């Protein structure tokens, strides 16, 4: 530690200091509990901490409120689960506790993870710590904002179409989405079951990787769970010698803000400076990813959210008969975006339209998977900007859902393909309308279960880019 403020100490270094006896675990927990309790971004829906009398072996973890936590509020950002406290922990939370990492708090999120700005939370929007008039990204905006603001050392989130990588980029931190199946989905409230994936946030690639190594693994309670073969170790690479990075230029030609494009071009030069090779590639169906995603994900959501009926748990609005109770409970419990996606998904699955919409979207998904397979036969990694632009102002896109959905243009294809991807800070850029500079993210993607190779290259790039800025008050005490 050498006198370094605890708020600036990496999560990995914090664990090492506790293990060596240089830092007291209880004092560490108390420090972060105070920071979480004092945050003013609406990043947390509940703060504890909840140590449960457990041993404290490392830095506490902020947990997105989509993970079930035994006896603690779990709302998924929705009024329909207001007051719900699960009788069990999600597998990811169980593994945190087993590793001696207490739950610091439950973070705010877009309702049922449906959103790209965190403005869809029933409990109010999260504010971006770099500029409180702007969004932090979504749906895991609370987790990203808490880490960026120094109100948590690291955090769990979920990524269905970009919900870890996108807020990581807009908040200037690292966000890591593993291969589908790497982390158990047991106890993770479902949005779209074939896409939902637990992932991690940190100030560094090493922190994000370390936290993922704790929660990944096979779980018999999740039939899609596989874990990461061989596990995951802390990255050490310092160069990109022998690494070929593919760039899908055709996919990046439209809609990217100039500042983002500039930072991306600089990142590619850094790849070459580290000994890597840049190669242009084609992802011919990637531009169809958004259209396919917004058929598949709502269709799966319409099925998953049918369980919220007011009968067994959560909100119940009294009525004269059962059907009316269903209607009133869902009418008052679900927010506008959730209702929109349920209706879209139900329509896509309805008789006469299933093949036309859902079936076609699944065929497009297969083509996208094949595009990535072909690309990875030529390159080791694929690079894109994480988002087309920097953080936008609160309310700027709420009246135009399609404009909002396009924020996930570069992240959705990787989700549809089920491959791992990471966003690391690439610098700062001014928004098109002018004003203070804001974070820009660089996204790297790798073949399925190549997490170790992905984090090694990201670690080397992170060091070379050298982004070490934090928003005002982001951990310096």
* Nearest-angstrom CA–CA distance, 273 and 112: 42
Question: What is the rounded distance in angstroms from the CA atom of residue 96 to the CA atom of residue 80?
Answer: 27
Look at residue 354 and tell me if it is in a domain.
no
The Cα 424–Cα 176 span in angstroms is 9
The closest of 208, 238, 191 to 67, measured between CA atoms, is 191
- Is residue 206 in some structural domain? yes
CA dist 468 and 213 (Å) reads 24
Asked, for residue 363, whether it belongs to a domain, the answer is no
Angle among Cα 350, 344, 166 to the nearest 5 degrees reads 140
Separation of first and last alpha carbons in the chain: 14
Token pair, residue 211, equals: 């936290």
What is the count of structural domains for the chain?
A: 1
Domain-embedded: residue 474: no
Q: Which of 163, 184, 204, 415 is catalytic?
A: 163
**Candidates 64, 106, 177, 397; catalytic one:** 64
Which residues share a beta bridge with 176? 200, 422
- Domain membership of residue 342 (yes or no) is no
- Could you tell me if residue 107 is inside a domain? yes
- Residue 64 is among the residues annotated as catalytic for this protein: yes
Q: Is 163 a catalytic residue?
A: yes
339 catalytic residue (yes or no)? no
Say if CB 297 and CB 191 are below 8 A apart. yes
Confidence (pLDDT) at 53: 65
List the structure tokens of 306. Answer: 């049918």
How is residue 41 written in tokens? 């971004």
Residue 475 lies in a domain: no
Compute, in degrees rounded to 10, the torsion defined by CA atoms 450, 456, 458, 459: 150
Its pTM stands at: 0.96
Is 476 within a domain? Answer: no
pLDDT on residue 2: 44
CATH number for the domain spanning 13: value is 3.90.1300.10
Q: Residue 298 and residue 323: Cα distance in Å, rounded?
A: 23
Can you give the pLDDT at residue 402? Answer: 84
- Distance (Å, rounded) from C-alpha 147 to C-alpha 298? 29
Contact 413, 159 (CB under 8 A): no
For 360-382, the pLDDT digits (tens) are 999 999 999 999 999 999 999 99
Q: How many residues does the chain have?
A: 477
pLDDT in tens, 29-76: 999 999 999 999 999 999 987 766 678 999 999 999 999 999 999 999
Catalytic residue among 78, 139, 302, 457: 139
Q: Which residues of the chain have pLDDT under 70?
A: 1-4, 51-53, 473, 475-477
């Amino acid at each position: 530690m050498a006198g370094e403020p605890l708020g600036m100490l990496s999560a990995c270094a914090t664990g090492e200091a506790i293990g060596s006896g240089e830092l007291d675990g209880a004092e560490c927990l108390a420090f972060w509990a105070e920071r979480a309790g004092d945050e003013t971004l609406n990043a947390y829906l509940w703060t504890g901490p909840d140590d449960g009398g457990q041993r404290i072996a490392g830095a506490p973890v902020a947990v997105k409120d989509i993970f079930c936590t035994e006896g603690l509020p779990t709302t998924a950002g929705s009024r329909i689960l207001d007051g719900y406290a699960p009788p069990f922990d999600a597998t990811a939370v169980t593994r945190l506790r087993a590793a001696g990492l207490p739950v610091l708090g439950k973070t705010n999120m877009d309702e049922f993870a449906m959103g790209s700005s965190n403005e869809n939370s029933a409990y109010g929007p999260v504010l971006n710590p770099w500029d409180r008039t702007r969004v932090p990204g979504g749906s895991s905006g609370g987790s990203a904002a808490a880490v960026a603001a120094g109100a948590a050392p690291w955090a769990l989130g979920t990524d269905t179409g970009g919900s870890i990588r996108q807020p990581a980029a807009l908040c200037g931190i690292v966000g890591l989405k593993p291969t589908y199946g790497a982390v158990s989905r047991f106890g993770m409230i479902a949005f779209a079951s074939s896409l939902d994936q637990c992932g991690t946030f940190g100030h560094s690639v090493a922190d994000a990787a370390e936290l993922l190594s704790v929660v990944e693994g096979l779980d018999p309670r999740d039939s899609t769970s596989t874990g990461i073969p061989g596990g995951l170790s802390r990255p050490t690479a310092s160069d990109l010698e022998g690494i070929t990075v593919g760039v899908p230029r055709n996919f990046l030609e439209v809609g990217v803000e100039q500042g983002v494009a500039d930072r991306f071009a600089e990142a590619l030069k850094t790849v070459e400076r580290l000994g890597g090779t840049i190669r242009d590639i084609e992802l011919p169906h990637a531009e169809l990813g958004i259209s396919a995603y917004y058929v598949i994900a709502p269709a799966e959501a319409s099925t998953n959210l049918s369980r919220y009926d007011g009968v067994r748990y959560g909100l119940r609005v009294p009525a004269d008969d059962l059907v009316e109770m269903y209607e009133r409970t869902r009418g008052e419990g679900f927010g506008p975006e959730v209702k929109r996606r349920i209706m879209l998904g139900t329509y896509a699955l309805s008789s006469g339209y299933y093949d036309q919409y859902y079936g076609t979207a699944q065929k497009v998904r297969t083509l996208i998977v094949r595009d990535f397979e072909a690309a990875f036969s030529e390159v080791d990694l694929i690079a894109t900007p994480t988002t087309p632009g920097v953080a936008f102002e609160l309310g700027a896109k709420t009246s135009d859902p399609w404009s909002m959905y396009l924020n996930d243009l570069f992240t959705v294809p990787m989700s549809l393909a089920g491959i791992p991807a990471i966003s690391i800070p690439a610098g700062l850029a001014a928004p098109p309308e002018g004003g203070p500079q804001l974070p820009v993210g660089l996204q790297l993607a790798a073949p399925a279960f190549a997490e170790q190779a992905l984090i090694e290259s990201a670690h080397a790039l992170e060091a070379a880019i050298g982004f070490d800025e934090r928003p005002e008050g982001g951990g310096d005490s």
